[in-house]
Amino acid sequence: MSPEITKHTMKPQISTLRHMPTFDRYTPLTPNLAISPTVSVVIPAMNEAENLPHVFATLPHWIHEIVLVDGHSTDDTVAVARRLRPGIRIVQQRGKGKGDALAAGFAACTGDIIVMIDADGSTDGREIIQFVGALVTGADFVKGSRYASGGGSDDLTFSRRLGNSILRGLVNKIYGTKYTDLCYGYNAFWARHLDVLDLDCDGFEVETVMNIRAAKAGLKVHEVPSRERSRIHGESNLRAVRDGWRVLKTIMREWRRPVPQVRHEPATATPAADQGAA
């Protein structure tokens, strides 16, 4: 490694520069920003053939891979996905539910960063750069928030908004967090933290599980504003009362769960904050 000469109190000092990736490992995001980590996008989908053209059109060209988890679709979801993105990775879900689908998708990822979005058109792939930007500048886990300044929703009903507010307040009280949103499916994290998240749930409570376990493990959690759109085609499988009750039970169950151990990077690795921002 090359030495760097600095000055402190008028005396020259020698410090060592951290190892940086070679230029061919950087992926340009904008004219002023490039990163070295690779990015995988996981999309759980069940009968979303009509929505995929819109969803895929919003995804940045620089992502490393798309992993689509097919939840036993009876329409042309898989065929449409392969036609739109010939290099896409298709994972056939064995179980049922969003949590089960995400766990299968995460396990198939090869990227350094994992981003999860929905297949119904409610999440905008153009926002991925905000999530990745927060990760490469120091965050461990980045969650989208519809309530943060600049965020919003075209889809939240009064009952869902009220339920989310009550459940979010409960999580903040029990776990000492300051989350502005809880039940939202737009999140990103470093793949090395998969063991900490350790998904073992089936349904829509998966976002709550991830948010709680990230906090309990002491991960650096950062929120970015996100705009939730209305579903384009089809009907949602979300049921406010049923899934709200599952989230409540999850919050209480996680309170009794042992704190997971964070897997630290080897001492020779580049710190997350320096991992490719250029």
CATH assignment of the domain containing 76 = 3.90.550.10
Within-domain flag for 207: yes
Secondary structure of the chain: what % helix, strand, coil (to 5)?
Answer: 35, 20, 45
Is residue 260 predicted with pLDDT exceeding 70? no
Q: Are strands 65-70 and 89-92 parallel, antiparallel or unpaired?
A: parallel
Within-domain flag for 55: yes
**Which pLDDT tens digit goes with each residue over 169-193?**
999 999 999 999 998 989 999 999 9
Q: What pLDDT was estimated at residue 156?
A: 72
How many other CB atoms sit within 10 Å of the CB of residue 154?
A: 11
Within-domain flag for 18: no
Q: If you average pLDDT over residues 242-261, what whole number do you get?
A: 77
In terms of C-beta distances under 8 Å and separation of at least 24 residues, what long-range contacts does 137-140 make, across chains too? 137/273, 137/277, 138/220, 138/222, 138/272, 138/273, 139/220, 139/221, 139/222, 139/272, 140/189, 140/190, 140/193, 140/214, 140/219, 140/220, 140/221, 140/272
Q: What pLDDT was estimated at residue 264?
A: 55
Q: What pLDDT was estimated at residue 2?
A: 38
Number of residues in the chain: 278
**Nearest alpha-carbon partner for 99 in 28, 42, 141, 26:** 42
Rg, C-alpha atoms of the chain: 20
Burial of residue 34 (number of CB atoms within 10 Å: 0-12, 13-18, 19+): middle
Q: Which residues are paired to 89 by β-bridges? A: 67
**Which pLDDT tens digit goes with each residue over 82-137?**
999 999 999 999 999 999 999 999 999 999 999 999 999 999 999 999 999 999 99
Within-domain flag for 265: no
Q: Hey, what amino acid is at 7?
A: K
Is residue 12 predicted with pLDDT exceeding 50? no
Q: What pLDDT was estimated at residue 42?
A: 98
Within-domain flag for 217: yes
Angle in degrees, CA 182, 185, 189, rounded to 5: 90
Q: If you average pLDDT over residues 192-216, what whole number do you get?
A: 92
Give the domain range for residue 168: 33-257
Within-domain flag for 15: no
- 14 DSSP assignment: E
Within-domain flag for 273: no
Cα 256 to chain centroid distance, Å, stands at 25
Say what the pTM is: 0.80
Look over the chain and give the mean of its residue pLDDT values, rounded to a whole number. 83
Q: Are 224 and 145 in contact (CB under 8 A)?
A: yes
**Nearest alpha-carbon partner for 260 in 221, 204, 223, 213:** 213
What does the block give as tokens for 85?
Answer: 């993105």
Strands (E), 137-220: 141-145, 152-153, 187-190
Within-domain flag for 11: no
Number of structural domains, the chain? 1
Specify the residue for token string 């507010």.
165
Q: What pLDDT was estimated at residue 29?
A: 73
